[in-house]
């Protein structure tokens, strides 16, 4: 079946525009309820979390209506990070977890992500079956079997305690000043509380959500304000989360920003030294820098590459028995502690290294020299297929031949936005710029 509803991370789009309408959310909820409520003789439950977008109220209500109409009992967590939903789905013995969030996207967007009873995101196959049910007719429960909805008031606190338990026992953050940027999103309460409880001096930014300012000039995709705050306050470190707190970028004491590749490289090397790196490899996507690959190879550590999307990273980790993986964008997955990317948890792992080594953040966040990398996005309209155009394919072939042995080219359609992402890496900066420009020009000419 060709997927038209689900992308690389659930369903996503502009609120009140197909597919992110209240009507569609109700249908998705009913379809998911029907899919998971296979044994009608027992009670079934689903947990629902959300970030701070205004449209979250609408989608929470619509999903609840759809799910309860098929007999599912709904437990409403309110604003919590995405990893909290994965954790509590399993902890509360739920059949399904739902996170209402468009992650790092603007406030006008929203999305629906699903977690299975094991706390991991659903497979492509499960999403395809749910999509088929959405497009068909869903049998509602009999009147006496309609589900109930209940608010869970302590979901955030359960998550906070779980995250703190990943920090080395007895270790404290006394004397460390941390700037934490919560992107006016789902972790605006949880992240500062965790850091403060562990002893850090906390300077919090992006903690005043109003329904419209999530990811607006803040968070992991726009860390400028956080970097300036680190320098202004003389902080030791900055932690920048995104809207649903499943990704992070770090800022050292000089205000320099480090992406997920640097953090993954550091953790992989440290874990390997301590015989904690399962499978002897790190799992990352095709987007991770060639410099990371070279750094790991020099230390006898493997690099397993997957398609872009943290769910594909997790699938490969589970298949191969690996316990560390993630994305350059800041999704860091540590299956010893969580079932999905967790920005706050990853930040604590770095802070533990900071305390253990006594080094400055700037010394720990530049573990390898990145190969020059350039990424440009090209917008396209629904129905257009520029990557299938012969002239575009010819240019791509020419560029790949030019880069052979000196770099690499990666072109893909975004799974969450109507964009074609053109990324190249090359030690020669001029060759790199020309490679990306040639492909972008070819795409724009066709579009």
The domain ranges of the chain are: 11-155, 167-255, 260-364, 373-446
Of 69, 103, 288, 329, which one is the catalytic site residue?
Answer: 103
Q: pLDDT value at position 315?
A: 95
- Dump pLDDT digits (tens) for 385-413: 888 889 999 999 999 999 988 889 999 88
The whole-chain average pLDDT of the chain stands at 95
For domain 11-155, the CATH architecture is: 3-Layer(aba) Sandwich (3.40)
Nearest Cα neighbor of 371 from 330, 393, 403, 395 is 403
Q: Which residues contact 209 (CB under 8 A, 6 or more apart)?
A: 52, 79, 184, 185, 188
Q: Which residue has the tokens 């006008």?
A: 108
CATH topology of domain 373-446: TATA-Binding Protein (3.30.310)
The domains spanning 167-255 and 373-446 adopt the same CATH topology: no
What gap in Å lies between CA 124 and CA 26, rounded to an integer?
21
Q: pLDDT value at position 39?
A: 67
- Phi, psi at 162, each rounded to 5°: -65, -45
Q: pLDDT value at position 41?
A: 60
What is 167-255's CATH number?
A: 3.40.120.10
pLDDT at 137 over 90: no
Q: Tell me the pTM.
A: 0.90
- Which whole number is the average pLDDT over 322-347? 97
Give the pLDDT band (50/70/90) at residue 418.
confident
What gap in Å lies between CA 130 and CA 33, rounded to an integer?
9
Q: How far is CA 73 from CA 51, 92, 118, 149, 370, in A?
A: 21, 12, 18, 6, 49
Contact between 98 and 47 under an 8 Å Cβ cutoff? The reply is yes
Residue 103 is a catalytic residue: yes
- Dump pLDDT digits (tens) for 279-310: 999 999 999 999 999 999 999 999 999 998 89
pLDDT at 2 over 70: no
Q: Which DSSP helix (H) or strand (E) runs through 136? A: none
- Dump pLDDT digits (tens) for 256-276: 999 999 999 999 999 999 999
Nearest Cα neighbor of 204 from 236, 239, 254 is 239
Q: DSSP alpha helices (H): ranges in 52-201?
A: 56-69, 82-91, 124-135, 155-165, 190-197
Superfamily of domain 260-364: Alpha-D-Glucose-1,6-Bisphosphate, subunit A, domain 3 (3.40.120.10)
């Amino acid at each position: 079946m060709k997927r038209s509803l689900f992308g690389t991370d659930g369903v996503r789009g502009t609120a009140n525009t197909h597919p992110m309408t209240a009507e569609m959310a109700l249908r998705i909820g009913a379809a998911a309820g029907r899919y998971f409520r296979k044994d009608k003789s027992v009670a079934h439950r689903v947990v629902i979390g959300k970030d701070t977008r205004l449209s979250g109220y609408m989608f929470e209500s619509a999903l609840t209506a759809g799910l309860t109409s098929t007999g599912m009992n709904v437990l409403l967590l309110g604003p919590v990070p995405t990893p909290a939903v994965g954790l509590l789905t399993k902890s509360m013995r739920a059949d399904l977890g739902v996170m209402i969030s468009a992650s790092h996207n603007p406030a006008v967007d929203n999305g629906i992500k699903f977690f299975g009873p094991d706390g991991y995101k659903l497979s492509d196959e499960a999403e395809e079956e749910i999509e088929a049910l959405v497009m068909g007719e869903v049998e509602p429960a009999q009147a006496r079997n309609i589900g109930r909805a209940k608010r869970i008031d302590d979901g955030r606190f359960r998550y906070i305690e779980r995250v703190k338990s990943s920090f080395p026992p007895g270790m404290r953050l006394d004397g460390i000043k941390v700037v934490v940027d919560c992107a006016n999103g789902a972790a605006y309460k949880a992240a500062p509380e965790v850091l403060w409880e562990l002893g850090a001096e906390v300077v919090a930014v992006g903690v005043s959500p109003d329904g419209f300012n999530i990811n607006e000039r803040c968070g992991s995709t726009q860390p400028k304000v956080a970097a300036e705050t680190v320098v202004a306050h003389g902080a030791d470190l900055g932690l920048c989360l995104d809207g649903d707190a499943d990704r992070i970028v770090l800022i050292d004491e000089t205000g320099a920003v480090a992406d997920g590749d640097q953090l993954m490289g550091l953790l992989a090397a440290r874990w390997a030294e301590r015989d904690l790196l399962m499978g002897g490899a790190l799992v990352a996507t095709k987007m991770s820098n060639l410099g990371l690959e070279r750094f790991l190879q020099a230390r006898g550590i493997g690099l397993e590459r997957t398609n872009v999307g943290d769910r594909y990273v997790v699938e490969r980790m589970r298949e191969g028995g690996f316990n560390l993986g993630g994305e350059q964008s800041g999704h860091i997955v540590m299956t010893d502690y969580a079932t999905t990317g967790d920005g706050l948890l990853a930040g604590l792992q770095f802070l533990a290294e900071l305390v253990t080594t006594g080094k400055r953040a700037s010394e720990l966040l530049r573990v390898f020299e990145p190969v020059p990398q350039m990424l440009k996005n090209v917008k396209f309209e629904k129905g257009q297929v520029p990557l299938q155009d012969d002239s575009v394919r010819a240019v791509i072939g020419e560029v790949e031949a030019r880069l052979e042995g000196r770099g690499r080219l990666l072109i893909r359609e975004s799974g969450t936005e109507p964009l074609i992402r053109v990324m190249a890496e090359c030690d020669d900066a001029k060759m790199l710029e020309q490679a990306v420009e040639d492909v972008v020009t070819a795409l724009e000419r066709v579009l």
